Amino acid sequence: MNAKPIPANGIAETEYDGGADPVVAALGKGLVWDTADDLAENLKGAELIKAYVKRLPNAPGVYRMFNADGDVLYVGKAASLKKRVTNYAQGRGHSNRITKMITLTAAMEFVTTRTETEALLLEANLIKRLRPRFNVLLRDDKSFPYILITGGHEAPGIFKHRGAQTRKGDYFGPFASATAVARTINALQRAFLLRTCTDSVYESRTRPCLLYQIKRCSGPCTGEISPDGYGELVSEAKAFLSGRSKAVQAAMSTTMQEAAEDLDFERAAVYRDRIAALTAIQSHQGINPQTVDEADVFAIQQEGGMTCIQVFFFRTGQNWGNRAYFPKADATLEATEVLGAFISQFYDNKPVPRLILTSETLAEADLLSEALSLKAPRKVAIARPQRGERRDLVDHALANAREALGRRLAETSSQAKLMAGMTEALHLTRVPRRVEVYDNSHIMGTNAVGAMIVAGPEGFAKNQYRKFNIKSEDATPGDDFAMMREVMERRFSRLVKEEGIPDRLAEKAEEETDALSDPMPAWPDLLLIDGGAGQVKAVMTILKELGVDEAVDVVGVAKGVDRDAGRERFIIPGKQEFSLPPRDPVLYFIQRLRDEAHRFAIGSHRARRKKEMVKNPLDEIGGIGPARKRALLHHFGTAKGVARAALEDLEKVEGISEAMARQIHDHFRQSG
């Protein structure tokens, strides 16, 4: 966005580009309203907000509140920006959460939109992108998997698909998890005998594979089934996934009966097994509604300061799985507020069904329905059912939400006790909210990888895991100390650059008064190092060089005598080594953290080693993509054959120009 000169009224007007979201980009006729420096000078909190009110339009839009560091505190939308912001300026009748938000506000920014519906869409987009501290935040927002039956091929295959739907074919979903997709595809293989091999494997087959032998594929690759016969199987699979399962099963049953009457028992048995496979799919799905064809069901449960939202997906009259979410939300917010904010963010990057059923009556259900209809684009209904099958679906989702929240509360309570116990046992300066555990993995120094795993109040945070491919060429291969120094330097130099060095005293005071502190901050409170005094010394050297040695506790976990688990020695800088009692729960907890780091390090190392093993020398040549590499290998057979080829032979390969042939020829002569 390009700002215009500040006008006399102290408000700058700039066009808003809408970000990457095409729907939000369509709202670009709105204006960003920003304050001039003289307006914000020496003002903060309610006084600053009052200064804005005088200049705001009585129009729909979105507002953002910033703290003194420029971090976004809150994103909200309003039918009238002037009226909504006036409420903040009054400074009374607010909850503790809103009062604190107002107190921290050092700047605001506004975007006017044409309608309140557009404001709602823009608000959801900005919350997802900016993740403001005081908003309800949707966490674990992964894309949902689909089932893809490919198109543009003589024998379409059936695959799991996640991400942009750019591949030609028919997509069915969304499914709640990859497990649900894999289970369904596995059953569909038995029911419709569709191939699951890649196109390259399909084209290279000379005889049927094992899947054909165990009756999981009809063998189109080697002509075991005619193209027309395979096409019928594909059509049946599409019909089943499109909701015509009863018709497909009825047709199979009729065919099975006819085959039995003709005494063709082998063919009848094939259809019997296919019908059994379809029945297995439907039994795994649990509830299959009779009156709901396409809907998402949302149920919310709040307890112990936590929120769980259970989402069930129904498509083509079939249950395609469910997933539990635990959004970050202030404990003072009502369930209807949290659920409304969650749903508006949930569909920011997902397809919207025709019907949304909720366990709560949403305050802005009509507005949300209008906004989602704009994204769909078709009519989207939102309802809280009172009776009948739809009410049963919501009640079932609500029961699942209660169970999921109960499990999470039990896990969190147990984790909190272990964190507190670890604080006492290791003499830490604070109860850690973020624990980082480091380990290295290599074989004789080759393919060395440093690994970092993260744990917090809610268990392992796998989306925070990081691996570090060791790059240093100066270090002696297999030097664990040098590897740990490199990992620490890369990790904390970047952390200092992006987050700055934390003021732990100020943070501690804020945590005591602020229940909204993120349970997983960017900075770690504790580093657990898998190693002895040498590794700990290497870590402390880097931390001191970066000036952050006081910002984080460091503990080394050395293997005990004879490397026995339970006899570990703990190394803390400036203190005597010590051990914990063999049956201490804290010791088991630390062992679990260390074992997870070890597992992740070995897995990362194996992946890198495997990649190196299959690396092709042609990959090192600039301008050689998959097509040219394929052409070279088809012509010469192997990469070694390409390396030995004369310049004239290289020029004969289709797609290889004279200049590219010279580049390939020179590359292998120079490297040799």
- pLDDT tens digits for range 150-202: 988 889 999 998 887 888 998 887 887 787 788 788 878 877 888 988 888 88
Evaluate if residue 287 carries a pLDDT over 80: no
What is the share, in percent, of the chain residues with pLDDT greater than 70? Answer: 82
Structure-token match 């200092």, residue found = 496
Tell the CATH topology of 11-130. Answer: GIY-YIG endonuclease (3.40.1440)
Cβ density class 577-613: b for 16+ within 10 Å, e for less: eeebeeeeebbebbeebbebbbebbeebbeebeeeee
Q: How far is CA 208 from CA 159, 190, 219, 228, 550, in A?
A: 19, 16, 6, 18, 64
Residue 141 confidence (pLDDT): 63
- What's the DSSP call for residue 140? S
Distance CA 333, CA 63 (A): 20
- What's the DSSP call for residue 134? T
Residue 476 confidence (pLDDT): 66
Evaluate if residue 672 carries a pLDDT over 60: no
Q: Residues 4, 9, 12, CA angle at the centre, nearest 5°?
A: 25
Give me the half-sphere count of Cα atoms (radius 13 Å) on the Cβ side of residue 89: 17
Q: For 372-390, what is the mean pLDDT?
A: 88
- CATH architecture label of 617-671: Orthogonal Bundle (1.10)
Identify the band that residue 254 occupies on the pLDDT scale cut at 50, 70 and 90: confident
- What's the DSSP call for residue 672? -
Evaluate if residue 301 carries a pLDDT over 90: yes
Residue 481 confidence (pLDDT): 84
Report whether the peptide linkage leading into residue 174 is cis, meaning its omega lies within 30 degrees of zero.
yes
Evaluate if residue 316 carries a pLDDT over 80: no
Evaluate if residue 669 carries a pLDDT over 80: no
Identify the band that residue 556 occupies on the pLDDT scale cut at 50, 70 and 90: very high
Identify the band that residue 6 occupies on the pLDDT scale cut at 50, 70 and 90: very low
Q: For 60-76, what is the mean pLDDT?
A: 89
Start-end ranges of CATH 3.40.1440.10 in the chain? 11-130
Q: For 309-323, what is the mean pLDDT?
A: 84
Residue 516 confidence (pLDDT): 40
Q: For 549-554, what is the mean pLDDT?
A: 88
User: How does pLDDT run across 82-126, given as a tens digit for each residue?
Assistant: 888 888 887 666 788 888 888 888 888 888 888 888 888 888 888
Identify the band that residue 28 occupies on the pLDDT scale cut at 50, 70 and 90: very low
Evaluate if residue 285 carries a pLDDT over 60: no
Residue 21 confidence (pLDDT): 44
User: How does pLDDT run across 566-623, given as a tens digit for each residue?
Assistant: 678 899 998 888 888 888 888 888 988 988 988 888 887 777 766 665 566 777 777 7
Give me the half-sphere count of Cα atoms (radius 13 Å) on the Cβ side of residue 528: 28
> Which is it for the CA torsion 278, 280, 284, 286, positive or negative?
positive
Residue 363 confidence (pLDDT): 87
What is the share, in percent, of the chain residues with pLDDT greater than 90? Answer: 14
> Which is it for the CA torsion 84, 89, 94, 97, positive or negative?
positive
Residue 237: exposed, middle, or buried by beta-carbon count in 10 A (0-12, 13-18, 19+)? buried
Evaluate if residue 7 carries a pLDDT over 70: no
CATH classification code of 295-407:
3.30.420
User: How does pLDDT run across 134-154, given as a tens digit for each residue?
Assistant: 988 887 666 788 889 998 888
Give me the half-sphere count of Cα atoms (radius 13 Å) on the Cβ side of residue 256: 15
Identify the band that residue 632 occupies on the pLDDT scale cut at 50, 70 and 90: confident
530 or 30, greater pLDDT: 530
Structure-token match 């925070």, residue found = 464
pTM of the model: 0.67
- 638 three-state secondary structure: coil
Residue 359 confidence (pLDDT): 94
Identify the band that residue 342 occupies on the pLDDT scale cut at 50, 70 and 90: very high
Residue 514 confidence (pLDDT): 46
Residue 9 confidence (pLDDT): 36
Identify the band that residue 554 occupies on the pLDDT scale cut at 50, 70 and 90: very high
Evaluate if residue 444 carries a pLDDT over 50: yes
Evaluate if residue 16 carries a pLDDT over 90: no
Residue 317 confidence (pLDDT): 74
Cβ density class 259-281: b for 16+ within 10 Å, e for less: beeeeeeeebebbbebbebbeeb
- CATH architecture label of 432-602: 2-Layer Sandwich (3.30)
Six-digit token string for 114: 């044409």
208 or 275, greater pLDDT: 208
Start-end ranges of CATH 1.10.150.20 in the chain? 617-671
Contacts with 559 (C-beta within 8 Å, 6 or more apart), sequence order: 568, 569
Evaluate if residue 408 carries a pLDDT over 80: yes
Distance CA 365, CA 380 (A): 11
Residue 499 confidence (pLDDT): 81
Start-end ranges of CATH 3.30.420.340 in the chain? 432-602
Identify the band that residue 660 occupies on the pLDDT scale cut at 50, 70 and 90: confident
Strand partners for 328: 137
CB 553 within 8 A of CB 428: yes
Identify the band that residue 13 occupies on the pLDDT scale cut at 50, 70 and 90: very low
Residue 36 confidence (pLDDT): 43
Q: Average pLDDT, whole number, for the chain?
A: 80
Task: Give me the DSSP letters along 286-334.
Answer: ----SS-SSEEEEEEEEETTEEEEEEEEEETTEEEEEEEE--B--TTS-
Q: For 446-475, what is the mean pLDDT?
A: 82
Distance CA 499, CA 546 (A): 13
Outline where 426-532 has alpha helix (H).
480-499, 504-513
Evaluate if residue 308 carries a pLDDT over 90: yes
Evaluate if residue 310 carries a pLDDT over 90: yes
Evaluate if residue 358 carries a pLDDT over 60: yes
Distance CA 345, CA 137 (A): 8
Six-digit token string for 1: 């966005």
Residue 289 confidence (pLDDT): 67
Evaluate if residue 283 carries a pLDDT over 60: no
